[in-house]
């Protein structure tokens, strides 16, 4: 199976499409950067980027959205001329890396007392709450909208939602997006006071057990240390993708 970033789930719906880019929008959570952005089909020239930037600013500001995000083609570095402009305009540049593993080759020695289970009516509120706490770093409005979105995900069964519980407390969670050949681990999160106890690995083991015949995929921030853990666990590197984000636009 030839995996690319196109296999990664995105809630956004294509609102406008040209030969050069796709504009994705997710009006359920307008502050979700990963659902409302421009995805370049090919690396733009500086002139083209500026033109599309103007379009995106006007569109987002008319809707009360305060950000512009660009996602660049997979495995292509941003040309220096674009980096210079984006930096001058105070965009934050970042990289995502994609990884994949077959459950049979997943390797993790886990000694952990956490109980892993699918979210139920009894654990939904606690699951939503820790996700809310994690999301607050991107703003209160986004955190509240995401809080409601997760409840809708549960009601509509849009994703598999999983929690880790210790002594009756939900201390970690993840979502799994299941497709024909893949199961994507998304938003894997453990409360800071419970990290480095193997909880994240045990959550992954639970996913592997329930999707033995699929390829497990995920994305990691190119700057984060967890990606090194994924390699040790048997994940293979698929590719990288640069992005640029500017918030508080006017």
DSSP state of 40: E
CB 198 within 8 A of CB 112: yes
Question: How far is C-alpha 17 from the geometric centre of its chain's CA atoms?
Answer: 22
Query: Rounded to two decimals, what is the model's pTM?
Result: 0.91
pLDDT recorded at residue 137: 78
Strands 215-221 vs 182-190: parallel, antiparallel or unpaired: parallel
> CB neighbours (10 Å) of residue 193?
7
Residues 79, 43: Cα–Cα separation, whole Å:
8
Write down the H helix ranges in the chain.
46-62, 80-88, 124-135, 140-156, 199-210, 226-232
Residues 217, 100: Cα–Cα separation, whole Å:
4
The residue ranges of the chain whose pLDDT is under 50 are: none
Question: How far is C-alpha 155 from the geometric centre of its chain's CA atoms?
Answer: 21
pLDDT recorded at residue 145: 80
Domains and CATH numbers, the chain: 5-97+241-247 (3.40.630.30), 101-237 (3.40.630.30)
pLDDT in tens, 35-60: 999 999 999 999 999 999 999 999 99
Residues 130, 161: Cα–Cα separation, whole Å:
13
CB 30 within 8 A of CB 36: yes
pLDDT recorded at residue 155: 87
pLDDT recorded at residue 139: 77
pLDDT recorded at residue 225: 65
Strands 67-71 vs 37-40: parallel, antiparallel or unpaired: parallel
pLDDT in tens, 134-143: 888 777 878 8
């Amino acid at each position: 199976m030839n995996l690319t970033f196109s296999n990664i789930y995105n809630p956004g719906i294509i609102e406008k499409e040209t030969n050069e880019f796709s504009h994705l929008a997710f009006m359920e959570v307008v502050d979700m950067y990963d659902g409302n952005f421009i995805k370049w089909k090919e690396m733009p020239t500086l002139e083209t980027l500026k033109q599309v930037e103007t379009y995106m600013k006007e569109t987002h500001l008319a809707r009360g959205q305060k950000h512009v995000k660009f996602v660049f083609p997979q495995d292509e570095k941003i040309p220096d001329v674009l980096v210079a402009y984006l930096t001058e305009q105070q965009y934050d540049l970042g990289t995502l890396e994609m990884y994949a593993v077959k459950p049979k080759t997943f390797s993790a020695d886990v000694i952990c007392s956490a109980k892993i289970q699918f979210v139920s009516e009894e654990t939904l509120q606690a699951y939503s709450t820790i996700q809310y706490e994690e999301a607050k770093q991107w703003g209160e409005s986004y955190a509240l909208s995401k809080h409601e979105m997760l409840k809708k995900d549960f009601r509509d069964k849009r994703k598999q939602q999983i929690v880790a519980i210790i002594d009756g407390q939900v201390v970690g969670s993840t979502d799994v997006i299941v497709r024909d050949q893949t199961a994507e681990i998304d938003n894997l999160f453990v409360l800071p006071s419970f990290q480095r106890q193997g909880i994240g690995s045990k959550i992954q083991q639970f996913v592997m057990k329930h999707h033995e015949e699929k390829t497990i995929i995920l994305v990691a921030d190119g700057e984060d240390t967890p990606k090194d853990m994924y390699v040790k666990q048997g994940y293979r590197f698929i590719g990288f993708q640069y992005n640029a984000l500017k918030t508080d636009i006017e």
